[in-house]
Amino acid sequence: MKNFRDKGAAVSLGLAVLVAAFVALFGTFFSVIVKLVLPPGASFTWWKAVIVLLIALTVGGLIEKCGLKRVLPHVLIFLAVLFVASILSAQWLNVSLVFIPIFLTVVLTLAAVQLKTLWLIDSALTEKIVLLASTGHLLEGQSADLRIESGLRLLESVLPLSEAIVFRLTSEGELSPVGRARSDKSFDSAIERQSSWRENVGLCEQALSRRETIVQPVEGAAGAARIVLPLVYENVAVGVLFVKINENFVREDQHLLEAFSGQLARNFQRKELRERSLPHESWWSSFSSYSAENRLDMISLVHGIIKEQSFSAIASSYLKEAHAIAYLDGTLAYLNRRMRHLAKLDSEEISRIDLFGLLQRFKTDVFNEPQLAIRRVLQTGDTFKSELYYAESNKTLDMQITLVKVPTGSASIHETNVPLKPACFLITFRDVSAVKENERLRSDMASLMSHELRTPITSISGFTELLLADKTISEENREFLAIINSESQRLSKMLSTFLSVSNLEQSDKQEFHKSPVKLDTVVREVVGDLQENAKRKRIRLVEQPNKHLPPVAADKSLITRAVAHLIDNAIRYSPERTSVFISTILESDFLRVVVEDRGYGIASSEQEKIWQKFYRVARDGQDKEEESTGLGLSLVKEIVEQHGGAVTVESEIGTGSRFSFTLPRL
């Protein structure tokens, strides 16, 4: 904008100098015409030319700085005073004040500078319109020709087409075929094909002149018809769609074809407007009627693109999820119907509410500071996820706040591996109450199965042990009882494993309620509970707390379980007379819990596998723990990730391992 103003000021002063030179050049001619103001014999001397130049520069500079509307009243007053002074000085003092040259200088300077300003504004406006129209194709995805081809393929898939032809109306008023789909393989003669073609073209011209759909049944074929639809967009005819259907044509098919023809008309209009010469190609285009028509066409093109893109917003109103789009300044750009319903917003409130006001309507004990969530999304670029439970309505909502990024420059939104910049926020709420209820019922059934199956298995195992204790039982029967006892114990272990896996798979879906939790307190409690286990193996647990940790939003029982698994694993797989260090660390946006041992270590090739279900590290010379199912670390990973955190491991063979996980801070 500064360069535009500097350029305009220089041009204005240049025009003022040209006007002054013009007036000075023809000063003698003005003196001859106006005899009442300039006495006979007066000449246009150099000092008069200097006055004219100064006045021209002054007027040009004032208009450029203040604008014509503010300067014009003062100029009119100046000219009126100068006119009166000129008359008086000519009659009483016999002195000429060169009113006519000054008057012409002022008027011509006003006209020239104002025309220049209008020309510059018009040129800038034209460039903006052309830029907007030329970059609009970045949203279209495909060219108009490709969209015609894909549209014809769509028609072939949903209608029993015999033939479909798309005609384009040329500038000469003739119909030119630009797309054709044909499934009729009949072998007609050349004369019959030409006759049929002329008949079809005539029907198309008739529909185009009447600007209405023509449906012509085919004689001798039930359900067959020829349908001709004019392609009209914004009251401008751009082409014709001819369709021939062999069978089963119904009224609903006509509605489909009319909707499709409307899309074709938009494609044709867009293609035609893009093929025209741009209105800013020449400096004189601002004064050209043809260029002015092109500018109107560019506006129509932009209007069509905007209208087509608005379909996505309309389509989102049919989604079950609640969606809202907000600009980076917090202004809400769009809320779909479901979001308005969840937030309980009426039409008046929608126009007044902003992003933070919307999120305030979904506050819970865990999600109580929406501004922190927005800040985290802006700083990291990662999607913020949270599960919100409302006890008063027994409703659970899954929330996501995503930072939408768009390509920089003129890159298309469909391209990949291009630089991106933040554009807006996408807020999504999904009602998962029914899913949570189903998971709860499934968990209850698993618990019921556990109780009902464990009881008979325990009875079978107990009674077989009693029978085995009877010395009077024969060896053959004792062998059978031993098999029964062994298989019942194996079945019991299988049941325990099944229940562990079931609980693990539901750990990221089960209903849990987040609340502010102090991680140092959780660590201290777990260390206290596991001290006896550590003492039995002569292992020292060393807690390294951080007393200045902020709380995290978490389910305390699950986080306690995750910490206990890590410390218990460190105790189990560490040699005697070693130490296990447990520390809590505050990072920028996360809190980290670290469990470090001096155990056997894990090979780098296995460090990714240990988080998998049932995976256990095999070590030479050491037996695996019989009660271990290989589910502990997998469970830790599931618990941490459902809280929005991550797990890591660093280990070397013979040196030890360092397990840690992070949780987002409040």
Instruction: Assess whether pLDDT exceeds 70 at residue 168.
Output: yes
Q: Which of 131-140, 179-188, 365-374, 611-620 has the lowest mean pLDDT?
A: 131-140
Average pLDDT over residues 368-372: 85
Torsion of CA 454, 456, 460, 466, to 10 degrees: 90
**Helix axes 632-642 and 556-572, enclosed angle (nearest 10):** 150
Contact 566, 605 (CB under 8 A): no
Whether 449 is covered by a domain: the verdict is yes
Residue 450: is it exposed, middle or buried by C-beta count within 10 angstroms (0-12/13-18/19+)?
middle
CATH of the domain at 347: 3.30.450.20
At residue 90, the pLDDT reads 65
Weakest mean pLDDT among 19-23, 77-81, 574-578, 652-656: 19-23
Q: Give the model's pLDDT for residue 138.
A: 47
Confidence bin at 2 (pLDDT 50/70/90) = very low
**% pLDDT > 90, the chain:** 12
The pLDDT tens digits for 190-228 are 777 788 888 888 889 888 888 888 888 887 777 788 889
pLDDT score recorded for residue 38: 44
In a domain, 283, yes or no: no
pLDDT tier at 620, thresholds 50, 70, 90: low
At residue 412, the pLDDT reads 60
Residue 314 falls within a domain, yes or no?
A: no
Supply the pLDDT for residue 15.
67
Residue 418 near residue 433, CB atoms below 8 Å: no
What pLDDT score was predicted for residue 524?
A: 93
Which residue in the block uniquely carries the two structure tokens 């074929």? Answer: 221
Output the domain CATH number for residue 181.
3.30.450.40
For residue 261, give both structure tokens: 């023809």
Tokens of 37: 């103001």
pLDDT at 659 over 90: yes
If DSSP codes are grouped into helix, strand and coil, which group holds residue 133?
helix
Does 642 lie in the same domain as 526? yes
pLDDT in tens, 321-355: 899 999 888 888 889 888 999 998 888 888 888 89
Per DSSP, 368 falls in state -
**Alpha helices (H) along 159-286:** 190-210, 251-275
C-alpha closest to that of 649 among 634, 639, 659: 659
Tokens for 507, please give them: 């750990």
Cα separation values, 433 from 396, 409, 446, 550, Å? 5, 43, 20, 30
Query: Residue 625: its pLDDT value, please?
Result: 44
pLDDT at position 410: 61
Does 8 lie in the same domain as 120?
yes
Specify the CATH number for the domain of residue 464: 1.10.287
Partners of residue 181 on adjacent β-strands: 164
What are the strands of the beta sheet with 322-327, ordered from one edge? 332-335, 322-327, 420-431, 395-407, 384-390
The predicted pLDDT at position 560 comes to 92
Task: Give the mean model confidence (pLDDT) for residues 382-388.
Answer: 88
Confidence of residue 34 (pLDDT cuts 50, 70, 90): very low
Residue where one domain finishes, among candidates 475, 507, 539: 507
Quick check: is 286 in a domain?
A: no
Asked if 116 and 39 sit in the same domain, the reply is: yes
Question: DSSP letters along 548-567, please?
Answer: TPPPEEE-HHHHHHHHHHHH
One domain, residues 638 and 533: yes
Domain's final residue, options 275, 300, 328:
275
Number of domains in the chain: 5
Task: Kindly report the pTM of this predicted structure.
Answer: 0.51
The average pLDDT across 44-49 equals 62
* Statement to judge: residues 7 and 114 lie in one domain: yes
Same domain assignment for residues 543 and 575: yes
Indicate if 619 and 524 belong to the same structural domain: yes
- Which residues form the domain of 465? 437-507
The answer to whether the beta carbons of residues 599 and 575 sit under 8 Å apart is: yes
pLDDT at 629: 57
What would the mean pLDDT of 447-464 be, rounded to a whole number? Answer: 79
Query: What pLDDT is attached to residue 283?
Result: 57
At residue 290 the predicted structure's pLDDT band, cuts being 50, 70 and 90, is low
Q: Give the C-alpha separation, 364 to 377, whole Å.
A: 19
Q: Beginning with the edge strand found earlier in the chain, give each strand of the sheet holding 656-664 in spatial order.
A: 540-544, 579-586, 590-596, 656-664, 646-652
Q: Which of 507, 526, 550 is the last residue of a domain?
A: 507
Q: Which pLDDT value is given to residue 415? A: 63
Q: Give the 3-state secondary structure of 50-116.
A: HHHHHHHHHHHHHHHHHCHHHHHHHHHHHHHHHHHHHHHHHHHHCCCCCHHHHHHHHHHHHHHHHHH
In a domain, 76, yes or no: yes
Q: Let me know if residue 610 belongs to a domain.
A: yes
- Which DSSP category does 93 fall into? I
Q: Which residues pair with 517 in a beta bridge?
A: 552
**pLDDT score of 649:** 94
Residues 543, 468, single domain; the answer is no
Judge residue 423's burial from the number of C-beta atoms within 10 Å of its C-beta, 0-12 exposed, 13-18 middle, 19 or more buried.
middle
pLDDT beyond 70 at 447: no
pLDDT in tens, 89-138: 766 655 455 666 777 777 888 777 777 777 777 777 777 776 666 655 54
- How does DSSP classify residue 321? S
Question: CA angle 307-309-315, nearest 5°?
Answer: 105
Q: What is the mean pLDDT of residues 364-370?
A: 83
Phi, psi of 615 (to 5 degrees): -90, 130
Looking at the fold, whether 534 and 609 belong to one and the same domain comes out as yes
Most confident option among 167-181, 394-408, 611-625: 394-408
Shared domain for 495 and 558, answered yes or no, is no
The answer to whether the Cα torsion of 52, 58, 61, 65 is positive or negative is negative
Strand, helix or coil for residue 367 = coil
Domain containing residue 596: CATH number: 3.30.565.10
Q: What is the mean pLDDT of the chain?
A: 78
Shared domain for 443 and 355, answered yes or no, is: no
CA distance 395 to 411: 42
Q: Across residues 583-598, what is the average pLDDT? A: 91
What does the block give as tokens for 133?
Answer: 């129209």
Residues 302-308 have a mean pLDDT of 71
Cβ–Cβ < 8 Å for 22, 108: yes
Q: Indicate the SS3 state at residue 250.
A: coil
CB 302 within 8 A of CB 138: no
Higher pLDDT, 517 or 18: 517
In this structure, of 140-144, 159-163, 249-253, 378-382, the range with the lowest mean pLDDT score is: 140-144
**Taking the C-alpha atoms of 110, 116, 121 and 126 in order, what is their torsion angle to the nearest 10 degrees?**
150
Contact indicator for 302, 133 with CB cutoff of 8 Å: yes
Please tell me the predicted confidence (pLDDT) of residue 1.
41
Q: What does the alpha-carbon distance between residue 106 and residue 104 come to, in Å, rounded to a whole number?
A: 5
Query: How far is 294 from 282, CA to CA, in rounded Å?
Result: 13
pLDDT digits (tens, 9 = 90+) for 219-269: 777 778 888 999 887 788 888 999 888 787 887 788 888 888 887 887 777
**What's the pLDDT tens digit per position in 539-561?**
999 998 887 888 898 889 889 98
Question: What residue has token string 């002329």?
Answer: 198
DSSP type of residue 609: G
Distances (CA, A) of 317 to 310, 336, 339, 345: 12, 5, 9, 15
Could you tell me if 373 and 235 lie in one domain?
no
Is 332 contained in some domain?
Answer: yes
In this structure, are strands 579-586 and 540-544 parallel, antiparallel, or unpaired?
parallel
- 386-436 tens-digit pLDDT: 888 888 888 889 999 999 888 776 666 656 677 788 888 999 999 988 888
Looking at the domain assignment, is residue 295 inside a domain?
Answer: no
Residue 36 above 60 pLDDT? Answer: no
Joined tokens for residue 242:
């001819």
Q: In what order do the strands lie in the sheet with 225-233?
A: 175-182, 161-169, 236-245, 225-233, 214-217
Q: Which residues pair with 245 in a beta bridge?
A: 161, 225
Torsion angle of C-alpha atoms 260, 261, 263, 265, degrees rounded to 10: 170
Position 150 confidence tier, pLDDT thresholds 50, 70, 90: confident
